[in-house]
Structure 1
Amino acid sequence: MRRITTTIALLGLSLFALLTPSPASAASTVEVTSATLVAKGVAVDLTLTVTCDAGLSGGAELILRQRSGNRVAYGSGWAPVSCTGQPQAVTGRVYAEGGGFAFNRGVALASGGFELCGQDVCDYPRFEDEVRITR
């Protein structure tokens, strides 16, 4: 009985160690800093301030939603990221979905996620912020 209890305790500790976030995961931060209309609302340049461990690189999926009357303008885009360990500006273009509505000046919801990988570790920070779209 004692051996079974010890085995269960060790398995629990092993599982806990596997589920603990890696240092890269704890270090990555994302903040939406600006959104600028492009081509009369066909797209928006979305700028993020990203801090992540040097040596990680990858991309960010960008999603933007904005109320347009009683409907929602929606778009998506992508931005490449190469981490330096310092805060850096990353800009990606979010294109309004075809057949949908154009973006306008005003408040929108920006969200998305990153896939940042290095030699031995990957990090997947997510973000969701309100942003004011300007010209």
Structure 2
Amino acid sequence: MRRIITAIALLGLSLSIVLAPTPASAASSVEVTAGTLVARGVAVDLTLTVVCQAGMSGTSNLTLRQRSGDRVAHGTGWAPLRCSGETQVVTGRVFADAGGFAFNKGVALASGHFELCEQENCDFLDFNNTVRITR
């Protein structure tokens, strides 16, 4: 009986260590804070405020969608990042889809995914924010 209880306790302890979030996951965050039209709506520069563990680096896939009347402008882009452990401002450019609609001033939905790694550890940050696009 004592062996079974000990085995269960060790299994529970092992699972709590394996399933615990890494320090990078707990401290990392990203928020889209601004959008600026480029080339009359052909692209938008998104400003992101990011906090992540020093020494990590990677890129983000960015997506932007904006409704204009009964149409939706859509585009994708990317942003590089090298983490310092402090709050950083990063800019990524999103290009409107070819054959689609141009972006305009106003509210849009910005979403994306950062994949940041250092040696064997990786952190994945997803974001989904509304942003006001200005000129």
Query: Do they superpose with TM above 0.5?
Result: yes
Write the letter of the residue equivalent to 1:36.
T
CA displacement 1:14-37 (0-9 Å, x = unmatched):
222211110011111111111001
Task: Identify unmatched segments of 5+ residues in structure 1.
Answer: none
Q: Look up the SS of the partner of 2:98 in the other structure.
A: coil
Q: Work out the percentage of aligned pairs sharing the same amino acid.
A: 70
Q: Secondary structure at the match of 1:98?
A: coil
Match of 1:66 in 2: 66
1:111 counterpart residue number: 111
> Counterparts of 1:15 and 1:99 in 2: how far apart (Å)?
51
Residue number in structure 1 paired with 2:88: 88
* Cα displacement (A) at 1:5: 4.5
Structure 1 segment 1-135 matched on structure 2, within 5 A:
2-135=2-135
How far does residue 72 in structure 1 lie from its aligned partner after superposition? 1.6
CA distance in structure 1 between the aligned counterparts of 2:2 and 2:110, rounded to whole angstroms: 54
Unaligned runs of 5+ in 2: none
CA RMSD between the two structures: 1.4
Structure 2 CA distance for aligned equivalents of residues 102 and 9 of structure 1:
59
One-letter identity of the residue aligned with 1:49: T
User: What is the TM-score normalised by the length of structure 1?
Assistant: 0.92
Structure 1, residues 67-112: CA drift from partner, whole Å, max 9, x if none? 1212221111111100111111100100111221111100001111
> Which amino acid counterpart does residue 16 of structure 1 have in structure 2?
S
Relative to the length of structure 2, the TM-score reads 0.92
C-alpha deviation, 1:132, in angstroms: 0.3
Work out the CA distance in 1 between the residues paired with 2:43 and 2:92.
10
